[in-house]
Amino acid sequence: MNLDKILINLEEIVGKDFASNKSEELYIYSQDPGASEPRPVDFVVMPKTVEEVQKIVKLANKEKIPLVPMGGGLTLSGLVIPIKGGIVIDMKRMDKIIEINETSRYALIEAGITTGKILSYLKQHHPNLQPPIPDAPPSATVAGNVLIHGSGYLSQRYGDYGGLINGLEVVLPNGEIAKFGSCSVSNYWFGRGPIPDFIGLFISAFGTMGIITKLSIQLFPKPNMRDIVFGLMKDPNNIPSVLSKITATGLAEDVLLGMQDKPDWMKGYIFLMTYITGDAQEDLNDQVKIFKKIYRKSGARFMKAPEKLKELYLGKPIFAAGAADFRKGGGFEYVGAFMPLEKIPEAYVKGAEIAKKFGIVPTLGSRLIGGIHTIVMFFSYSFNRADPKDMENARKALHETNKLALDLGGIPWKAELTGQQLILEKMDPNYKKLLKTLKNTLDPNNIMNPGNWEVK
C-alpha cells in the first residue's frame, strides 16, 4: 500500500481541500467524546457526490485499505474511530435536502444532513411537519442516528427510528450503487415494501455493509402544543404497571423515566415524564387529569414540573448535553441497552450499583419504544477527560453494564467493540453464520469499518 499515492488519488477524486493525511486534521477523527482510547487514522476524505463515494470505495478495494463512514461522530462508543486505521469518509458535505413530500410525509435527504439542519429547514418551509430526531447535539446526522436504531420524542408512538426509514441509496462495498425500498421500483420513496426488505441489513451494522448516500425518512404532523406531565416515584418495581397504564391510553407522545442523584432534590427518586400534545390548552388539561389519576393509582406522585426543568426538556436537545458534563472535564459515556419491560426495575437498581462502585454519579434513564414493546435503557457515566483513572473507571463501568444488560435479557445498543463481542458470544450460531456469509459476500476485501461485528 503506497500511502502517498492514496492521498494523490483521494485528492483527484474530491479536490485538494477535501482529502488530508495531516496529523493536525486527523487528530479530531482519532477519538470521540466517549471513553474509547484514541486510535490512528491514515486519511480523512469528504466527498460531495455519490459518484465520488463510488470512486473512493473502488480505490479502497484496489488498495485494500479500510473505510469508515462517519456522520456527526457522536455515538460515544467509538464507532467511527477506525479500528484498523484507514480512511474516515466524513459525509457532512453531502448535505442536500432533495425533497419534502408533504402528502406522503417523507423527507428525501443526503446522508450528511444534520438533525439541526432538517429541524430548521422544516420549521422554515414546512412548519406543520416534524422529523424523528434524538436528544443528541444538532451536529448529529439524521443518517447516523436512524442507522443505529436511534430514538427520541416520537419513539413511543412510532417505534425506533431505524423503523422510520422508507428507503436508502447505498454504495455497496464493491462500489456499485443500489436502491432499497419503494425507490428501487418507483420514483416515490414512500415505504419499504411490498418486496423483500433488506434495509435492516444496514441498521446497527455500523458501516460494515456499505455507505448510505441518500435516505428517505418519515415525517409526522407537528402538534400545536406540547407539555410534560411530571411525576416522582420511589420504588422501581412500580415501573412496569405505570407504563402499561400510560401506553394503554394511546395519548402519550413520548415517555421518559430517569434516576439521577443531581440536582440534590432528585436523589432517591425515579422521575417520570409523559409528553402530551394537543391543539389547544384544554386538550392538554384533559390529558393531565387522566395521567394524574394513573400516576396516583400506580404509586407515583404527580408534581407540577418545575418551569426550569420543563424548559430544559422541552427545549431539546440542551438537557442531555448539560447532564453529560456532571463531572466537568468534558467526558461523557452513555451506554444503552434495548430491554424487555419486566427487567427494567432490576436494571435501575443494578445500574446505580455499578455507577457507585466506580465513583460515578448514578444517572440512568429509559425511554419507551413502540408502546412498551421495547425500552431503551440509558446508563450514563460522565468523567473528567483530563483524569486517566476517571476514564478507566468509565470504561470498566461500561463493560459491566453491557454484561448486566445481556444477563437481564437485553441487548447493548450502539455497542462499542468489546460490547459487540459480548453480543456475538450470546448470539444464535446460525444467525452469526449468516452475518458472516453476508458480510464476506458483500465485502470480500473486508474494507468496510473492519473490526466491527467481526465474527471470529
Ligand X SMILES: Cc1cc2nc3c(=O)[nH]c(=O)nc-3n(C[C@H](O)[C@H](O)[C@H](O)COP(=O)(O)OP(=O)(O)OC[C@H]3O[C@@H](n4cnc5c(N)ncnc54)[C@H](O)[C@@H]3O)c2cc1C
Footprint of ligand X (CB under 6 A): 33, 68-76, 79-80, 91, 111, 134-137, 140-141, 143-145, 147-148, 150-152, 206-207, 211-212, 320-321, 324, 449
As measured in angstroms, the least distance from the Cβ of 122 to ligand X is: 17
Give whichever of 130 and 287 is closer to ligand X, judged by the CB atom. Answer: 130
Cβ proximity to ligand X, 72 vs 278, nearer residue: 72
Residue closer to ligand X, measured from CB, 9 or 115: 115
Quick one: cell of 93? 458535505
3-state secondary structure the chain: CCHHHHHHHHHHHHCHHHEECCHHHHHHHHCCCCCCCCCCCCEEECCCCHHHHHHHHHHHHHHCCCEEEECCCCCCCCCCCCCCCCEEEEHHHCCCEEEEECCCCEEEEECCCEHHHHHHHHHHHCCCEECCCCCCCCCCEHHHHHCCCCCCCCHHHHCCHHHHEEEEEEECCCCCEEEEEHHHCCCCCCCCCCCCCCHHHHCCCCCCCCEEEEEEEECEECCCEEEEEEEEECCHHHHHHHHHHHHHCCCCCEEEEEEECCCHHHCCCEEEEEEEEECCHHHHHHHHHHHHHHHHHCCCEEECCCHHHHHHHHCCCHHHHHHCCCCCCEEEEEEEEEECHHHHHHHHHHHHHHHHHCCCCCEEEEEEECCCCEEEEEEEEEEECCCHHHHHHHHHHHHHHHHHHHHCCCEEECCCHHHHHHHHHHCCHHHHHHHHHHHHHHCCCCCECCCCCCCC
Of 129 and 212, nearer to ligand X (C-beta) is: 212
Residue with smaller CB distance to ligand X, 154 or 372: 154
Q: How far is the CB of 334 from ligand X (least distance, A)?
A: 7
Shortest separation between residue 68's beta carbon and ligand X, angstroms: 6
In angstroms, give the least distance from the CB of 152 to ligand X: 5
CA–CA separation, 168 and 177 (whole Å): 10
Give the shortest CB-150-to-ligand X separation in angstroms: 3
- Minimum distance, C-beta of residue 293 to ligand X, in the bound complex (Å): 29
Closest distance between ligand X and the C-beta of residue 230, in Å? 19
The residue whose Cβ lies closest to ligand X is 144
Comparing CB distances to ligand X, the nearer of 91 and 347 is: 91
How near is the Cβ of 109 to ligand X at its closest, in Å?
A: 11
* Cβ nearer to ligand X, comparing 181 with 278: 181
Least separation in angstroms between residue 74's CB and ligand X is 3
Q: Which is nearer to ligand X, 240 or 450 (CB)?
A: 450
- For residues 98 and 49, the answer to whether their CB atoms sit within 8 Å is no
C-alpha cell at 137: 447535539
